[in-house]
Amino acid sequence: MSKNRNNKHNNQPKKKSEVIRKGTKQVNKKGTTNYTVEEETTLLPYLLTVITNKSRNAVKSILTRGQVSVNGEETTKHNYPLKPGDTVNIMSNQESKKRSELMGVSILHEDQDLIVINKEAGMLSISSDDPTEPTAYHQLSDYVKKEHPDNKIFVVHRLDRDTSGVMLYAKSEKIKEALQKDWKNTVKERIYTALVEGDVKEEQGEYASWLSESKGIKMYSNLEDNGGKRAVTHFRKVLGNENYSLLEVELETGRKHQIRVHLKEMGHPIAGDKMYGAETNPLKRLGLHATTLVLVHPGTNKLVRYTSEVPNSFLKRVK
């Protein structure tokens, strides 16, 4: 009888906190700790299992401060689902402090080959006529040199000053050349969110034209081949009201000012885009945000996805 009772007791499921295995652990030279998940769970319970030298509130603070990423994507969600094989990265306090010194730029992902950032509107991607103006490029250059003075970053693509969202830089010339050499095939998705004027009636569609640049920086569109560069833009309506519409826009080609020109040609210029016909500026900025970049990682040859949430200011205009 007692033997059977003991067997019955031993077969009872253990508490969740007792069955979460830590998985394999690696610490890189920046002090970031990487864990490989071995079984299904959620993020906060997992962190409480692997971070044993801090209180529950301290662990929650690490998560809230954006020091944790899963498979390269930063998250602050306590209940973020984890599955076997996922990689959980915990940034050191020192590294977090170094990143917090960046202005108008936050790092979404960093590895030995790439730095992926979320750029705020108003921040230049590359250079400025004013040498004292803090561009994303100059700030990231200084950031990587803190690890080693010979470190550099390399420009792969750019976002307009007034466009916010996801963009990436290479950490070596070899990686830059690999990306730029076959950019069209390497990049699988480039998705933007645009707040446009008026109520877009079509639920989804496509706009194609040929784009030419004037002597200034403005681009012009022609529906027939006039020697310009062919540009194709796909769009899907997400939300809208009588004043504004929120569109998800995917680039088939990546021409200068392509989205801005095409939405103007459709009769729905991007809010705040005075250059291309906007009459309103409710956000006090250009209503264009790069939300998603999906590409084949040049170092690992794996498909990776980097995302930045749609700004709340966009969503408020279409509620």
Question: Are 109 and 56 in a shared domain?
Answer: no
pLDDT at residue 241 above 70?
yes
Q: Which of 86, 111, 142, 160 is catalytic?
A: 160
Question: Are 49 and 161 in a shared domain?
Answer: no
pTM for the structure as a whole:
0.72
d(CA 275, CA 277): 6
CATH number at residue 61: 3.10.290.10
pLDDT at residue 193 above 90?
yes
pLDDT at residue 5 above 80?
no
Question: Are 170 and 308 in a shared domain?
Answer: yes
Question: Are 75 and 197 in a shared domain?
Answer: no
Whole domain around residue 71: which residue ranges? 25-92
32-66 as b/e: b if 16+ CB within 10 A: bbebebbeebebbebbbbbbeeeeeeebbebbeeb
Q: 10 Å Cβ neighbour count for 112?
A: 10
144: nearest Cα among 172, 165, 186: 172
Within-domain flag for 273: yes
Question: Are 153 and 237 in a shared domain?
Answer: yes
CATH number at residue 125: 3.30.2350.10
Of 55-64, 116-125, 306-315, which gets the smallest average pLDDT?
55-64
Q: How confident is the model at residue 20 (pLDDT cuts 50, 70, 90)?
A: low
Question: Are 69 and 179 in a shared domain?
Answer: no
Within-domain flag for 97: no
Question: Are 56 and 123 in a shared domain?
Answer: no
Confirm whether 160 is a catalytic residue. yes
Q: What is the mean pLDDT of residues 40-55?
A: 90
Q: How many Cα neighbours within 13 Å face the side chain of 62? A: 25
Within-domain flag for 227: yes
pLDDT, position 170: 96
Q: What is the mean pLDDT of residues 164-182?
A: 95
Q: How confident is the model at residue 177 (pLDDT cuts 50, 70, 90)?
A: very high
